[in-house]
Amino acid sequence: MRTHCGRRSGADRRLTRRDFVRLTGYGAGAAAVIGGSRRRAGAAASYPDFLPASPNPSKRGGVLTRASAWDPPVIDPRLTQSVGTFQFAGLTSNRLVRYVFADEATGAADLSLKGDLAESWQSNADFRQWTFKLRQGVKWQNVPPLNGREFAAADVKYCFEQYAREGVQTFTFQEIEGIETPDHRTVRVHLKTPNVFFPQALAEPIAILFAREVLEQDGDLKKRLIGTGPFILKEHTRKVRVVLQRNPDYFDQGRPYVDEYVILSTPDAATRLAAYRTGQSDFIWVASPSEVETVRKTNPSTVVQSYHNSLAPFGLALAQDKAPFSDVRVRRAVAMAIDRQKQVDTVFEGHGILGWGVPYVYYQDKAPTAADFGPWWQYKPAEARRLLADAGHPNGFDTTLFYYEYFPQMTSQVQLVQQDLKKNLNINVRITKLDYTTYYGRYVESKWDGMSWGFQSGHAIGVDERTYQYMHSKSTKNFFRVNDAVIDELTTKLRRTPDRAEQRALTKKIVDREFDQVLRLWMPYDNGFLVFHPHMRNVAAPALRRTDGYGSPALARAWMDK
């Protein structure tokens, strides 16, 4: 039979079923070989949790590039606390004070303050008046309209007043009753109430100082961000890149070391990984040990820092102002019925923390273990059932849980909680997964019933932020709806306690009370890894900050050995 193009008959070339089965068999076999060659994630080698500064002399030059998950929503620091903005805003601008960088820190838990634009600072006896002496010879970046003019005390006053007036940083700055500038290098801040942690609040990345001229000319800071920092913002193209250029007039002479820092907007995790593998990104963050192993297969010389979180940002928020969660026995029963270790082992491949809300570095030296949390945080289903029966719910109850999937593993966590509560307490949890805005609006409104997957944001790490701001019943950030007189008293007292040892003791009391009353039900969180090419120096992350996010100011110390 002749075909239309004079080729062989179709019947001659027809594939038989047998051929098909044979071919697919080869395919399946090949897939099995590829799959089998993958090493188990659990076999991940252990990596150092802190990398000290390089002892070699720093080298100048090079372009540092990073594929970033975040894109700045706006660059106006008054209007956002987004990590997308503060992954570079702390490099264009300075604060009055800062936490030590990795190359100055004695270890991962070193939380000492250093002067940034301030040379020194001190308070009066009742901690309501703070005086900051500014560093001499600091200049604004040499770009219009600042053109390198000298930085002065009046700039600080102006910025703080603007922060207090509008935007999302008002909470911190509305604490200020008044500001004096006795001379051009002195700023005296009067607070409405005593706060020993005020310098820590100013060391947060969100407290950067911006240029008065830009705000006055543009009406906002959405187009230009000019500061005194180590890098000048050369380009910001939304959803494409941020390019920072070395500021030759930076007050910390000789720094920064790299000529340019380019942040490439790369929303997809697989693409970021591919960018690192192909050298388009000098460093990235990966969540799991198996990802580290995957990277090391193609890039065996990769340097890895195993990060250890000092707090968990997510936990179960219970509507504790309403039944049934207003009963502490119910909260304790729920806490005892959830197997958190299982979440660490399965969801985070063993590389995660069990979960706590106040960074442990503020009250003890070593990361807490399960035993440190007290009796209600041990996985004891039988006792949980008894406690729930005592509270009048022998047959469990129905409740709801809404969440936004901040990262893929979170859905697995939510489902494990649902499973544990059903299996151990016969509590039926109806889960609703929401988009970010819906979740956010509902969560912060604090009128929901049942449970929510709650959070504390990462922009501020001070002990005051993590205790008073998040737990005091009158605080606007009390999203977990804590209403406990003891906590109110302890957190207020902590703000007025200057002695470090007493602060640690008080913080411990707050944490113990939180765990005892199950005021916030923290959930495990991944530790993650900072992965960088071997030519990178001084990019290791200290205790509370990752150098790719809010801790980016540390990149002024990074250099490239190539």
Partner 1 sequence: MQKYVLRRVLLAIPVLALSSLIVFGLMRVMPGDALTVLMGESGNVGERELASLRADLGLDRPYHEQYARWLWQLVSLNPGHSIFTNEPIAVSLTKAIPVTAELATLALLIGLVVAVPIGVISATRQDTASDYLGRLVAVSGLSLPDFWLATLVITFAAIWFHWIPPIGYVSLWDSPWRNLQQFLLPAAVLGFRLAAATMRMTRSTVLEVLREDYVRTAWAKGLGGRIVVYKHALKNALIPVVTIIGGQLGTLLAGTVIVETIFALPGMGRLTVEAILFRDYPVVQTNVMLVAGTLVALNLVVDLTYAWLDPRIRYR
3-state secondary structure 62-119: CEEEEEECCCCCCCCCCCCCCHHHHCCHHHHCCCCEEECCCCCCCCCCCCCEEECCEE
The answer to whether residue 37 forms part of the interface with partner 1 (CB under 8 A) is no
Q: Does the footprint of partner 1 cover residue 427 (CB under 8 A)? A: no
Give residues 69-108 in contact with partner 1 (rule: CB under 8 A): 71, 73-74, 79-82
Piece of the chain touching partner 1 by CB under 8 A; list 112-120, 224-232, 276-284, 363-371: 276-284
Task: Indicate which single residue of 122, 298, 326, 432 sits in contact with partner 1 (rule: CB under 8 A).
Answer: 298
Point out which span in 37-45, 102-110, 235-243, 380-388 binds partner 1 (CB under 8 A): 235-243
The closest of 292, 319, 287, 323 to 450, measured between CA atoms, is 319
Q: Does 148 bind partner 1 (CB under 8 A)?
A: no
Residue 149, exposed/middle/buried by CB under 10 A (0-12, 13-18, 19+)? middle
The stretch among 273-281, 308-316, 327-335, 536-544 that binds partner 1 (CB under 8 A) is: 273-281
296 binds partner 1 (CB under 8 A): no
Q: Residue 437, interface with partner 1 (CB under 8 A)?
A: yes
Burial of 89 (0-12, 13-18, 19+ CB in 10 A): buried
Q: Which is nearer to partner 1, 161 or 502 (CB)?
A: 161
Stretch that binds partner 1, among 7-15, 125-133, 344-352, 386-394 (CB under 8 A): 7-15
Question: Do residues 535 and 562 touch, judged by C-beta distance below 8 A?
Answer: yes
Of 136 and 298, nearer to partner 1 (C-beta) is: 298
Subset of 49-68 contacting partner 1 (CB under 8 A): 67
Closest CB to partner 1 among 71 and 116?
71
Work out which of 146, 196, 232, 273 binds partner 1, going by CB under 8 A.
Answer: 273
Q: Tell me the three-class secondary structure of 195-256, residue by residue.
A: CCCHHHHHCCHHHCCCCHHHHHHHCCCCCCCCCCCCEEEEEEECCCEEEEEECCCCCCCCCC
Confirm or reject binding of residue 271 to partner 1 (CB under 8 A). yes
β-bridge partners, 243: 235, 262
Spatial separation of the C-alpha atoms in residues 363 and 513, rounded to whole Å: 13
> Whole-number minimum distance, CB 240 to partner 1, in Å?
5
Strands 536-537 and 559-560, sheet pairing: antiparallel
- HEC profile for 252-288? CCCCCCCCEEEEEECCCHHHHHHHHHCCCCCEEEECC
Which residues touch 408 (CB under 8 Å, ≥6 apart)? none
Which residue among 1, 10, 37, 56 contacts partner 1 (CB under 8 A)?
A: 10
Which of 234, 241 has the CB closer to partner 1? 241
Q: Which of residues 490-549 bind partner 1 (CB under 8 A)?
A: none
Count how many residues are written for the chain: 562
Structure tokens at 85: 């903005």
**Residue 239 CB, nearest approach to partner 1 (Å):** 4
Total residues in contact with partner 1, by rule CB under 8 A: 62
Candidate residues 120, 278, 428, 432; the one interacting with partner 1 per rule CB under 8 A: 278
Quick one: which of 11, 21, 43, 371 contacts partner 1 (CB under 8 A)? 11
Among 239, 366, 447, 474, binds partner 1 (CB under 8 A): 239
Residue from 275, 303, 316, 425 in contact with partner 1 (CB under 8 A):
275
Structure-block tokens of residue 415:
């489902």
Q: Are the beta carbons of 351 and 288 closer than 8 angstroms?
A: yes
Number of C-beta neighbours around residue 486 at 10 A = 13
- Least distance to partner 1, CB of residue 395, Å: 33
* Strand ranges (E), 313-372: 314-318, 352-353
Q: In terms of C-beta density within 10 A (0-12 exposed, 13-18 middle, 19 or more buried), how is residue 442 classed?
A: middle
Looking at residue 304, what DSSP letter applies?
Answer: E
Of 266 and 409, CB closest to partner 1: 266
Tell me whether residue 119 or residue 220 sits nearer to partner 1 (CB atom): 220
Any bridge partners for residue 246, and if so which?
Answer: 231
List 277, 308, 342, 508, residue binding partner 1 (CB under 8 A): 277
Determine which residue in the list 143, 264, 323, 431 makes contact with partner 1, applying CB under 8 A.
264
Binder of partner 1 out of 93, 195, 266, 343 (CB under 8 A)? 266
Q: Which residues contact 113 (CB under 8 A, 6 or more apart)?
A: 97, 98, 99, 100, 199, 200, 203
Among 54, 131, 181, 265, binds partner 1 (CB under 8 A): 265
Query: Following DSSP, what letter does each residue of 140-208 receive, concatenated?
Result: --SSTTTTTPBP-HHHHHHHHHHHHHSSTTHHHHTTEEEEEEEETTEEEEEESS--TTHHHHHTSGGG-
Give the DSSP H/E element, type plus range, for residue 405.
Answer: none
Among 131, 142, 170, 186, which residue sits at the site for partner 1 (rule: CB under 8 A)?
A: 170
Least distance to partner 1, CB of residue 252, Å:
29
- Stretch of 1-9, 119-127, 333-341, 497-505 lying at the interface with partner 1 (CB under 8 A): 1-9
Residues 257/39, Cβ–Cβ less than 8 Å: no
Binding segment for partner 1 (CB under 8 A), chosen from 4-12, 140-148, 369-377, 412-420, is 4-12
Site string for partner 1, 445-484 (x = CB under 8 A): ------------x-x----------------xx-x-----
**CB of 79 or CB of 389, closer to partner 1:** 79
* Residue 419 in the binding site for partner 1 (CB under 8 A): no
What gap in Å lies between CA 245 and CA 118, rounded to an integer? 24
Q: Tell me the C-alpha distance between 18 and 9, whole Å.
A: 20
Give 7 or 40: the residue with its C-beta nearer to partner 1: 7
- Contacts with partner 1 by CB under 8 A lie at 3-8, 10-15, 67, 71, 73-74, 79-82, 166-171, 220, 222, 237-241, 262, 264-268, 270-271, 273-275, 277-278, 280-281, 298, 435-438, 440-442, 444, 457, 459, 476-477, 479
